[in-house]
A and B are shown apart, each in its own frame.
Chain A
Amino acid sequence: MDVAGKKTNKLKPNRQIIRRTLFLMIVCGILSFVVLLFQLYKIQILEHSKWESEAIEQQVRETVINASRGTIYDTNMKILAMSATVDTVFISPIEMLKYEEDPSLIASGLSEILGVSYESIMEKWEDTKSWYKTVAVKIEQEVSDKVREFKNEHKLKSVHIVEDTKRYYPYSSLASQVIGFVGIDNKGLEGVEAVYEKYLRGLNGRIVRATSSEGTDMLFNKYEDYFDAVEGNALVLTLDTTIQYYLEKHIEQAINDYMVQNGAVGIVMDVNTGAVLAMCTLPDYDLNNYLELNDAAKVELEEQGLEGDAYNAALTEALQNQWRNRSISDTYEPGSTFKIITLASCLEEGVVNPDTDFYCKGSIDVKGRKGPLHCWRHAGHGSQNLVSATQHSCNVAFTTMGLMLGADKFYEYVRSFGFMDSTGIDLNGEGKSIWWPDSQFKNPDNLSSLAVASFGQTFNITPLQLISAVSAVANGGYLMEPYVVKQIVSPEGEILLSREPRVIRQVISEETSARVCEILESVVGSKEGTGKNAYVEGYRIAGKTGTSEDVGQMTDEYIVSFVGFAPADDPKIAVLVLLDNPSPDSGIPISGGFMAAPVVGNIFSDVLPYMGVEPVYSEDNSKKADITLPGVKNMSVEEAKEKLKALGFKVQIEGGGDTVIDQIPIANVNVAAGSTIILYTETGRPTNLVTVPDLFDMSYSKARETLEQAGLYIRSSGVIPSGSNTIVVARQSIEKGNEVSIGSVIEVTLIDRDQSIIETA
């Protein structure tokens, strides 16, 4: 058995085999699984959230539902900007390959419907790994319906239509720089659209789907979640489209009349709240086609004759230029309009009173300045009190006032009136004013900076800063924070935010304010006032002219401006108009009093009645230039004659009948007092046409005479017609050479060409 035992070991697994098998058993059956379990634990438990989120990101596909953007209304709830549903068409090269659809058929079909070139669509197919190639964005529903039809007809799976929204601006270019626009992604890029983006945009909705890697729904594993889009909130602006329209209309007219080269800026502000009622920068642009240059910029760009990159760069610059709201972002030298601030500061500090006398010999010597500082009127204004010095816009007088006030106080008021800070308006891109550093301005040995600053030169401010400060002067001394959005309204109509006017500080007392208003009213209302061309019959208008050299330009370019407010006894609105570089070729002297003042006067004459400010005419009709002509048809001749004569008209009777059958001019038109009214007693009034004569630059009486000879009547606006030869026609309501019915009334805009008010400094 011993032998057998030994031999048995040779067949049986020996000890070594058993030992090594046991070793293997532990390695293969236990250790390797411990390693695997540890690795699984690490990935599934420790790194779970990391892998899960990455996995979900690839498994879930999101479709965005664009939220409808909030509407923008003007102060009277007229729609300035609204969103409408449009469609975007895209093609999917991956699906085209998958479903074996004919790319050229689709390309030709789509190019026909959408007006996109066939080649460009064929190019898009080449990106065969793409799910999404946009063919046309923001197309109208009627066009996308045709695409839908085409898609259904050929049962196409690789053509898709998704909803999008598009912004419409019903008033196209009106207040364009204030309202602004949205980009292709529906994000506000400029103006209120950009500032109030977070309120307007709403919340995009989403459809979340779990999909296979090919984008189809997961089989037996449907997962879909729908998040509704929330419409954006609406904005109610302080802008009034009617006032905005008047502002733009009159400034546009001025740009044409005075051949203004560099555009113009205008602001209408509620002096008591700081609400911006209208704000424009001209030339403007169509918000619905914001990538298209306005005509002026287009001509300018073409004239440069650029090509390629240089052209594109110039185009971009021109576009940015036309989008810029110059009322708030550009600074300029305000010139004499700033004298309002010097005047108010000096009165508030008590260094002058309305009776303070100034003597202007044409120039003044200023400490530290080489040579005398000249008044714009080199001959000098002679002896004048504060009121007449303001009416004259006398630089010598205002220099004297500034020196009396002192540099420290002067800067204190400048800062207090808000000229050194942003106004805080709810629009982007406010420009920074430029002032002398304290060290230089307050140098006691050199007062020249203070001297010229006193009449508005050698510093730069924004138009908005000026009108805000002038509003403060007008409203009793309260500097208000200007604003353009007065309410934010939820889609359900709930008012989420209502803007209360914000007083920044009181700068001057109510008494000082009243005094300044009075003095400034005389600048417009008095015969000697440099602002008399802003006069509007029946209204009390206060204001100040300004003419300044365009800073930074070495050429003879001027900015003419006028800032005014009305009614002077209870100011409601302020208007600032600024014309950048009018051309001397227009035949009108370059001066704020000649160019900007009548524009502001015209704006007031439209806006004040619109705002319900009743005109107050003097009782004496003879002083009134125009009278409403009553209808006298069917009256007896005698009766009619009496009625018309009582109003101061002359009467001429045609025919021998007893009753009036017809009259010229027709009833209820305004016509110059003392005009000859023709009454027809046998036949109707003649209807033949006459040619309108050229009245430009004629004195009022000459123009009236000329019209009468042509069988036409006159009425006037602007400066009140008087015997003065300096009052001449600046514009006529119907251009010369046009044919009109006999007896029509032509309105002439009068302007006072009194050379003594041409202020050139």
Chain B
Amino acid sequence: MADFYSFPNKGSQGILDTGEYGVKDIEQVRERAEVKRGQMDLPFFAMTLVILTIGLIMVFSASFARAYYESGNPAYVFVRQFIFSVSGVAIMLIASRIKPTFFRRYSFWLLVFSIGLLVLVPIIGEESGGAKRWIDLKITGFQPSEIAKLAVVLSFASMICIYKDKMKTFRYGVLPFVLIIGIIVGLLILEPHLSASVIIIALGGIMMFVGGTRLRWFAIVAIFVALAAVVLLSNFDYASGRIAAWRDPLSQKLTGGWQIVQSLYAVGSGGLLGLGLGQGRQKHLYLPEEHNDFIFAVVCEELGFIGAALILILFAILILRGFWLALRARDRFGSLVITGLTSLLALQVFLNVAVVTNLIPCTGISLPFFSSGGTALWLQMLEMGIILSISREIKDK
């Protein structure tokens, strides 16, 4: 029993051993160990608020035109987003006070819950644009795929902590993860929801990669994914059109390329310094989804290359700070969760900006903190809160 009470020396961090025991035992041990929870990481918290505030301003700038043309109230979208932002900050602060063990304890159930929701989507989901991705909650809608992303991070982190050294084997290090990813992606493809599938696969892969899965399995999976991608792309009837629109958007302007052409008009006409905040023209009903998926195009148009680059650099700083926290995390679970959530953030930012700038074919990915949307923002803030919660256990920040 001595092992359970072998406290760390000064200088070395967290040292509780789970030994051969299961999750529950570890938690009991940890609780008893009374891990000291300190301040949350202030730089990460501050960066989150800064980006959230800028995003809120941009939501107003991007949305007032359409809001006015369609509802007569230019602040319609902004007010909603403001309410979600304020409540989102509250969610983040609350989450930052919840111990990581809570998230670990319920991670498996969260995974089951999210898969359950994904099963429900085709049954009770709202159809929009030929796909069922949303569940209507009356006040706002939400996409179960967003919960699935969080569930994958938390449950994969838990599983990696349990399998530990067995991660090197196929049976533990590959099979269960791939099965879970397969189930989720299978359900997403039913919707169909290509971008969420891509993110889940990438996210699962990242977790396995960090968790210690042998690289050779990635090579095999990469081949499998590539094959799957080819099959998928050739079967998705809209995908081939999107590929064409991606390679030469102007030639497809009136068909599949409309969105991306309008986005490029906005991005390109921003130039170095932009047209000025609020002065954008593309949002006047030319650019679709101007306060959602294409909000970054409005940023580029109004704030120019300088403004857009600054915002990307803010994101980069937040992400780097996230990884820094992961490296400093007190335990493996915390480290893995932060890595997963930060990677998820990075993935979303990269894919969103890549779509807006036509680096990759057009697909619906929102920009964290910027794209308007209630539950997605709440979840985003919850994820930030989880990172902050873990950061409380880091001593020397």
Contact = CB atoms under 8 A, between A and B. Distances in A.
Nearest to A213: B285
Given A211-B284, A219-B64, A219-B65, A24 B268 contact: no
29 contacts: A4-B6, A7-B19, A13-B327, A13-B329, A13-B335, A18-B327, A21-B326, A25-B323, A29-B316, A30-B320, A32-B346, A32-B350, A33-B312, A36-B353, A36-B359, A40-B312, A41-B305, A43-B267, A44-B267, A48-B269, A48-B272, A55-B265, A58-B265, A59-B284, A212-B65, A213-B285, A218-B65, A221-B278, A221-B284
Contacts of A7: 3, 17, 19
Nearest to B209: A20
Contact of B15 (A11, A51, A211, A221): A11
B342 A28 contact: yes
A58 to B, nearest CB: 7
B336 A8 contact: no
B36 to A, nearest CB: 16
Interface of A: 1, 3-4, 7-8, 10-14, 16-18, 20-22, 24-25, 28-30, 32-33, 35-37, 39-41, 43-45, 47-48, 50-52, 54-56, 58-59, 210-214, 216, 218-221
Contacts of B6: 1, 4
B11 to A, nearest CB: 12
Nearest to B330: A12
A12 B13 contact: yes
A8 B11 CA distance: 13
Nearest to A50: B268
B12 A8 contact: yes
A39 B268 CA distance: 11
A3 B3 contact: yes
Interface in B342-374: 342-343, 346-347, 349-350, 353-354, 357-359
A536 B31 CA distance: 135
A579 to B, nearest CB: 61
A2 to B, nearest CB: 11
Given A43-B268, A51-B265, A221 B279 contact: yes
Given A11-B16, A11-B331, A12-B13, 16 more contacts: A3-B3, A10-B18, A11-B15, A12-B14, A25-B324, A32-B349, A36-B354, A37-B312, A40-B357, A43-B267, A43-B358, A44-B304, A45-B272, A48-B271, A51-B269, A55-B269
A688 B55 CA distance: 106
B270 interface: yes
Given A40-B300, A219-B64, A11 B271 contact: no
A47 to B, nearest CB: 6
Contacts, number: 191
Nearest to B286: A213
Interface in B41-90: 64-65, 68-69, 74
A56 B269 contact: yes
By DSSP majority rule, is chain A's interface helix, strand, loop, or mixed?
helix
Contacts of B270: 44, 48
Given A40-B309, A44-B300, A48-B269, A218 B327 contact: no
A646 to B, nearest CB: 96
Contacts of B384: none
B357 A39 contact: yes
A25 B343 CA distance: 8
Nearest to B160: A17
A484 B37 CA distance: 101
Contact of B320 (A1, A29, A44, A218): A29
Contact-size category for B:
35 or more
A43 B286 contact: no
A95 to B, nearest CB: 14
Contacts of B326: 13, 21, 25
Given A39-B359, A55-B266, A44 B210 contact: no
Most-contacted residue by chain B among A51, A52, A56 (CB, 10 A): A51
B141 interface: no
A28 B341 CA distance: 12
A47 B313 CA distance: 22
Q: Which 4 A-B pairs have the closest CB atoms?
A: A51-B268, A25-B323, A28-B346, A212-B284
A178 B3 CA distance: 115
Contacts of A47: 268
A29 B346 CA distance: 7
Contacts of A14: 212, 332
Nearest to B265: A55
B377 interface: no
B107 interface: no
B304 A8 contact: no
The residue in A7, A30, A36 that gathers the most chain B C-beta atoms within 10 A of its C-beta is A36
A356 B65 CA distance: 98
Nearest to B261: A54
B211 interface: yes
Contacts of A21: 210, 323, 326-327, 335, 339
Contacts of A10: 17-18, 164-165
A55 B327 contact: no
Contacts of A44: 267-268, 270-272, 300, 304-305, 308
Nearest to A210: B281
B319 interface: yes
B8 interface: yes
Contacts of B14: 11-12
A327 to B, nearest CB: 52
Contacts of B323: 21-22, 24-25, 28-29
Contacts of B339: 21, 24
Nearest to B275: A221
Contacts of A43: 264, 267-268, 300, 357-358
B80 to A, nearest CB: 19
A33 B210 CA distance: 21
B282 interface: yes
A24 B284 contact: no
B17 A40 contact: no
A567 B164 CA distance: 124
B246 interface: no
A160 B385 CA distance: 58
B315 interface: yes
B206 interface: yes
A36 B339 CA distance: 21
Contacts of A50: 268
Contacts of A39: 353-354, 357, 359
Nearest to B344: A28
Contacts of A40: 267, 300, 305, 308-309, 312, 353, 357
A556 to B, nearest CB: 65
B312 A24 contact: no
Nearest to B321: A29
A668 B266 CA distance: 87
A30 to B, nearest CB: 7
- Most A CB contacts (10 A, CB to CB) among B19, B164, B281 go to B281
B118 to A, nearest CB: 26
A32 B348 CA distance: 11
Nearest to A51: B268
